[in-house]
Structure 1
Amino acid sequence: MNSYHFIAIGGAIMHNLALALAKKGHQVSGSDDEIYEPSRSRLEKAGILPDKFGWYPEKIHEDLDGIILGMHARIDNPELIKAKELGIPIYSFPEFVFNQSQDKKRVVIAGSHGKTSITSIILHVLRDQKVQFDYLVGAQIEGFDLMVGLSDAPVIIIEGDEYLTSPLDRRPKFYHYKHDIALVSGIAWDHFNVFPDFDEYKGLFANLMKMTPESGTLIYCEEDPLVKQIAETESINGKRVPYPTHPAAIKNGKTYLITDQGEIPIHLFGDHNLQNLNGAMKVCLELGLTQEQFYQSIQTFKGAAKRLELLTEKSDGVMYRDFAHAPSKLKATVEAVKRQFPNRNLVAVQELHTYSS
């Protein structure tokens, strides 16, 4: 087993990766200047919460097999400087995940919206169908203790974020995974604070699509005009698989998929979720499942946390929570709820959050 030190261990994905490695039996240590819940309690329970907060170069020693560097750390971090002096390998978490999955089939789910929902659907279906897989997802999802799973499985499903990799690497995270199968759900200008030029932002996804190998597959939403334009005009070596919104009907506040097998009831609703569902199905088909298997398993999928998540339902009302962190997503959420419940009054409460919104 190996020994790893996390610089900025308290982040959502960083602490999940730390927990995953500790669960596999590796020696894990870490530092951070502040750690909030639920990261703090989870690290403490696993016995890898730092004794005190701050950066301590003495924690960095030659016996470490690697440093995993979080985006939260600054380039002048004293632990990072010490690691460079000692010549210890330094990985961003996407580089580390690739390093751990070079022999697997790598599926990357990308796009300005829908990534977590699509990834969550795929994970649910694969597990329900008893398919072995590893995963990296950007939110806590029902039935999974961690946001990262690493094992000897032959495939890994990765939620591919376009945000910057680390203080040392200003490239998008999803470039590092070197996908075999990529899905791109849509492009809507996000992370304005990091990508102030929309053409540059669109170029990130174009580059990702062009990275598809000749033996690989690009799955893309043909109803997103920017995605469709790039996927169908750029030079892409792999197979191209477009997908539209899955046909569906709404009856008494319940959504039914319209399929060759008849109408299938699901817990999801809204055009974006029906697009996400269809994209997830295309991925599952590429991985060898059948439509029948997908439709069987999707009926028990309740949705990802904070993605039109049902909080409570009574005879006179229903309440959902949604993490819509861009204007286009907020609009889509409101429209989806209005269509699902056309005869009810809708009250929407929006919390403005962070400068990137």
Structure 2
Amino acid sequence: MKTHFIAIGGSAMHNLAIALKDKGYQVTGSDDAIFEPSKSRLEKKGILPQELGWFPEKITSDIDAVILGMHAHQDNPELAKAKELGLKIYSYPEFLYEQSKDKTRVVVAGSHGKTTITSMILHVLNFHQKDVDFMVGAQLEGFDCMVKLTQDNDFMVLEGDEYLSSPIDLRSKFLLYQPNIALMSGIAWDHINVFKTFDDYVEQFRKFVASITPGGVLVYNEEDAEVVKVVEGAENYFRKIPYKTPEYEINNGKVHLKTEMGDVPLSVFGAHNLLNLEGARHICQQLGIMDEDFYEAIMSFRGASKRLEKVEREDKGVLYKDFAHAPSKVKAAVKAFCEQFKDEKKYGFLELHTYSSLNPIFLEQYDHAMDGLDEAVVFYSEDALKIKRMEPISPEFIKEKFKNEKLRVFTNAEELHAYWETLDKTQGVYLMMSSGNFGGLDLTK
């Protein structure tokens, strides 16, 4: 099968391209910007475009599938050529469904926790050498590629994202998967640039539940009121399995899960991660993994990339980074960090740089998000606001919305870096929350 990727360099797209190459497909692609690690990984597989840019001449009538990435625009010249030739054009999730429509599809959805839960499930299955197809949005220990597609596997585990599918398909990605087994971890307004109201956002999850195949299974977080409302309002038939935070205790800085089989020591911490773990356990049960086997495997799970991930520093200081940027994720990460290191001086840094996090209306959601930290810092770039054509935001406005008078606010990367240099990283513990890099801050030094 001959496939062509428009915007092959994306974190998800390049993994799919590699998976198809490994499956024996003929793969080509284009992009106007490709960064690491995508560049090296595509080059290693021999599918890195020879030059950057869009080339309509690459689009020929013998191509079986054109896969369109979200990074491309509607007026992309390669897309125009594909339409002109009448080629089959797929979004990323649409093509994944085509690859898995004859398998049992397991889809993990939710505003927060979906990457970690999917990662936990795959870690347990990999530990017990149970082979499945999968797609997950973060790099995992023990996995070379974050997409796997085969002819023979019976199951496919998918991280279900509520964001848009492609520039020409404005459905939420997870609406294309039609799960046989689904999980919903939580609902907290996100992607305000696309979903203008909270109800519009929740509607995507109502549609997701409605897309579960007849007689399917939904594992859901019964501690989330919005999730419960969506589940109770569903009109289609499926089996409902609720889950909640399990009992645990912290002994000498180590989290121990309280189970019928005794205490289970874990390598992750935070109540939200234990809630994620419980959801993963229920999904693994559906896949034939007994609880005893689940606990044996989960002890060695160290977390998904950038999810409360410990950074190895030259000075041996204690520093964790987290992808958290949405309010619910920030609150969960801060709460977990404060619980885990209650006797240490705690520093927390948050970078605001997505469209949503810089929106004055959405900023209301961050109230008390940094409470519990001894030193709390928020950084955002005034240049980023200009690039996004957004109105200026004052540090005082940020403090007001966070409801934290002690908050330090930086709007200039150089000033933030200068403050960072004044801190002795061997004293106290540090939590760095961003989907960016704090203006180029090196967290290892």
Which TM-score band applies after superposition, normalised by the shorter structure? over 0.9
Instruction: Name structure 2 gaps, 5 residues minimum.
Output: 358-445
Aligned-residue RMSD, C-alpha: 1.4
Q: 2:196 aligned with 1:196, yes or no?
A: yes
For 1:250-298, what per-residue CA distance to the aligned partner results, in whole angstroms no more than 9, with x for missing partners? 1111100000001010011111101100000000001111111101111
Query: Any idea what SS the aligned residue of 1:16 has?
Result: helix
Contact 1:258 1:264 in 2 (8 A): yes
Secondary structure of the equivalent of 2:176?
helix
Structure 2 match to 1:235 = 235
Which residue in the other structure is 2:244 paired with?
A: 244
CA pair 202-300 structure 1, distance change in 2 beyond 3 A: same
The equivalences for 1:311-350 within 5 A come to 311-312=311-312, 317-350=317-350
Matched-pair contact (CA < 8 Å) for 1:256–1:265: yes
Once the two structures are superposed, the pairs formed by residues 1-357 of structure 1 within 5 Å of their partners are 2-151=1-150, 152-312=152-312, 317-357=317-357
CA contact (8 A) 2:105 2:179 kept: yes
Task: Give the whole-Å Cα distance in 1 for the aligned partners of 2:277 and 2:80.
Answer: 45
SS at match of 1:182: strand
- Paired with 2:291 and 2:330, the residues of 1 have a C-alpha distance of 31
Post-superposition shift, 1:214? 2.6
- Look up the SS of the partner of 1:350 in the other structure: strand
Higher relative CO (Cα under 8 Å, sequence separation at least 6) belongs to 1
Aligned residue identity for 1:214: P
276-285 vs 83-92, which deviates more?
Answer: 83-92
Question: Deviations for 1:329-354, whole angstroms, at most 9, x for unmatched residues?
Answer: 11111111111121111011222222
CA contact (8 A) 1:4 1:65 kept: yes
User: Residue 313 of structure 1: CA displacement?
Assistant: 8.1
What CA distance in whole angstroms lies between the structure 1 residues aligned with 2:131 and 2:215?
A: 22
Deviation at 1:35, TM superposition (A): 0.9
Asked if the contact 1:181/1:218 (under 8 Å) is kept, the reply is yes
Q: Paired residues, what number? A: 356
2:375 maps to what in 1? none
Alpha-carbon distance in 2 for matches of 1:236, 1:82: 41
In structure 2, C-alpha distance between the alignment counterparts of 1:307 and 1:316, rounded to whole Å: 20
Q: CA deviation at 1:316?
A: 8.3
- 1:214–1:239 CA contact under 8 A, matched in 2: no
TM-score normalised according to structure 2 size: 0.78
Match for 1:292: what amino acid?
A: E
Distance 1:145 1:314 in 2: 27
SS of residue in 2 equivalent to 1:347: strand
Q: 1:121 is aligned with what amino acid? A: M
Q: Distance in 2 between matches of 1:253 and 1:150?
A: 39
Q: Is the 8 A contact 1:113 1:185 kept in 2?
A: yes
Letter in 1 for 2:291: Q
In percent, how many aligned pairs have the same letter?
Answer: 55
Offset, 1:72: 0.9
| Runs of 4+ residues deviating >4 angstroms | 313-317
- TM-score, reference length from structure 1: 0.97
Residue of structure 1 in register with 2:377 after alignment = none
Q: Is the 8 A contact 1:136 1:148 kept in 2?
A: yes
SS of 1:310's partner is: strand
Please report how far the alpha carbon of residue 188 of structure 1 lies from its aligned counterpart in structure 2 after TM superposition.
Answer: 0.5
Check the 8 A contact 1:64/1:88 in 2, yes or no.
yes
Structure 1 gaps of 5+ residues are none
SS in 2 for 1:194: coil
Deviations 1:149-180 (A, max 9, x none): 11121101000000000111100000111100
Q: Please give the alpha-carbon distance, in whole angstroms, between the structure 1 residues aligned to 2:103 and 2:34.
A: 33
> In structure 2, how many angstroms separate the alpha carbons of the residues matched to 1:45 and 1:58?
24
SS at match of 2:346: coil
SS in structure 2 of the partner of residue 348 of structure 1: strand
Checking the alignment, whether the CA contact within 8 Å between 1:165 and 1:173 is kept in structure 2 is: yes
- What is the SS of the residue equivalent to 1:171? strand
Give the direction of change, closer, same or farther, for the CA distance of 1:81–1:315 in structure 2 (3 Å limit): closer
Indicate conservation of the 8 Å contact 1:60/1:82, yes or no. Answer: yes
In 1, the alpha carbon distance for the partners of 2:195 and 2:304 equals 27
Q: Is the 8 A contact 1:135 1:156 kept in 2?
A: yes
Aligned-partner Cα distance in 1 for 2:193–2:212: 28
- Whether the 8 Å CA contact 1:134–1:149 is kept in 2: the answer is yes
Q: Distance in 1 between matches of 2:314 and 2:74?
A: 51
CA distance in 2, matches of 1:312, 1:56: 42
| Residue deviations 1:67-103 (CA, integer Å, cap 9, x gap) | 0000111111111111111111111111111101111
* SS of residue paired to 2:256: strand
Aligned-partner SS, 2:62: coil
Give the direction of change, closer, same or farther, for the CA distance of 1:66–1:316 in structure 2 (3 Å limit). Answer: closer
Of 347-356 and 295-304, deviating more is 347-356
Higher CA-based Rg: 2
